[in-house]
Amino acid sequence: MTTISHPDLVRFVYETGSPFRRLEALLSDIEPAQGLPPITMTVGAPRHAPPLGLTDAVVSSMSGFGQYPAITGTDAHRGAIGHWINRRYGLDPKSMEHGYAILPLNGSREGLVLAARCARDRSDKRKDGGRRVGERPVIVMQNPFYQAYVAGALAADCEVVLLDEHDLTGASLDISVWSRTVAAYIASPTNPQGAVLSVEDWQAWIERAREHDFMLFADECYSEIYRFSPPPGALEAAAQTTGGFGHVVAFNSLSKRSNLPGLRSGFVAGDPAFLADFMKLRNMGGPQVPLPVQAASNLAWADEAHVKESRALYTEKWALVDAKLGQWLSEATPPAGFFLWLKLPEGVSDIDAAKTLWRTYALRTIPGSFMAYPTDEGPTAADRLRLALVDDEPTTLEALDRLSRFFDTVAPVKAMAD
């Protein structure tokens, strides 16, 4: 367990900055290898094809740009999202029809940030100031983590408690943490590791959230990028409990699922009581989703063909990873997600590796330690690189060839096998 105090959280957000800004600073004075076209594998922006008909959907609803949309979205938009949730997770078709169990978002990121404030306010009302004077509430998250979670914790004036790297259910934390917790951000599939929570894992979180009266924020943005079987969802797990969606909301978007990161279209769904308050907060300070964007989104949520095609392309690229780097890999490639969370040979640091790959191979990657917060033992994930497998197959193959040549120079095959 690692705790980030509020002063350290402020410094981390405003001084350390995002991993991408840190990478720019790291590589700013390094010229990439000449004669090799640069390949960037840093940003998780999918480059596969979006669904057909998207442009027509936007053009046919252009008049909507002349209107202020409702914060709750249109009935058709909530209906399209609800149909997808019910279809994907096998829920009762009526489960998303009562009240506003769905709110559209301008991408899941803005919702993930603002929801923390709502969770803090909810906790303050329900716990009647039960925390000791001067004691800040806590938001729990995984480590490595998505940077939006930290921004949310700062906006909510909370401390952060980071789970141990392999703790999927919060078992490493004790009552002193849970008594102060207002929310937990839990991603499945995880970013960047690609680990998947089971239904039982989700239900362990749900039980803990209800016992200690905090909100579970399930970040499921990579839910449709998997190699074998669909990852279970938090709403799916919650629906099997006597408490329904109580204490649980799930976030998702079209960025990864439908290769539409620039559309900025997502949703949050689940606990109706929490979402009623969240709607009020967003109605005062959150951005609405433009009507033409909702129309395009409705088409995307209804179409599974492009999702299956995209998933097949990722599966092919993971096969290339196994074929080209198999002799260097010390662990199995992940069951979900599109990030290669590459473990480096012993004695090779992530910072040095990132510099060398850019200088010698014109390959841009993110040091693992830039994706995490250091523990008392030192930097976290300093033996990792994160690479996004979002390019086409020829580009991915070229990048993997360059990685293989890099490994040839830093570790003999036998050492990795041992």
- Angle at which helices 272-285 and 107-126 pack, to 10 degrees? 110
User: What does the pLDDT read at residue 94?
Assistant: 78
- Strand ranges, E, within 120-263: 138-141, 159-162, 181-187, 215-219, 248-253
Please tell me the predicted confidence (pLDDT) of residue 92: 85
Tokens 């009526």 identify what position?
94
**Per-residue pLDDT at 302:** 97
Residue-wise pLDDT for 273-295, tens only, equals: 999 999 999 999 989 999 999 99
pLDDT band at 414 (very low <50, low <70, confident <90, very high): very low
- What pLDDT is attached to residue 307? 98
Query: Could you tell me which residues come within 8 angstroms of residue 72 by beta carbon, excluding any fewer than 6 positions away?
Result: 78, 100, 103, 104, 279
Q: What is the mean pLDDT of residues 30-46?
A: 95
- The rounded Cα 312 to chain-centroid distance in angstroms is 21
Tell me the Ramachandran region of residue 221: left when phi exceeds 0, alpha when psi lies from -120 to 50, beta otherwise. alpha
What's the pTM value of the predicted model, to 2 decimals?
0.94
Distance between CA atoms of residues 336 and 314, nearest Å? 10
Percent of the chain with pLDDT over 70: 95
- Cα angle: 197, vertex 18, 394; to 5 degrees: 70
> Average pLDDT for residues 97-117, to the nearest whole number?
89
| pLDDT above 60: residue 98 | no
Average confidence (pLDDT) over 366-389: 92
- Compute the average pLDDT of residues 238-246: 95
Q: Which residues contact 51 (CB under 8 A, 6 or more apart)?
A: 258, 299, 300, 303, 305, 306
The per-residue pLDDT for 412 is 60
Contact partners, residue 328, CB within 8 Å, separation at least 6 = 345, 404, 407, 411, 413, 416
202-238 pLDDT tens trace = 999 999 999 999 999 999 999 999 999 999 999 999 9
According to DSSP, the residues that pair with 248 across neighbouring strands are 216
Task: State residue 251 phi and psi, 5-degree precision.
Answer: -110, 140
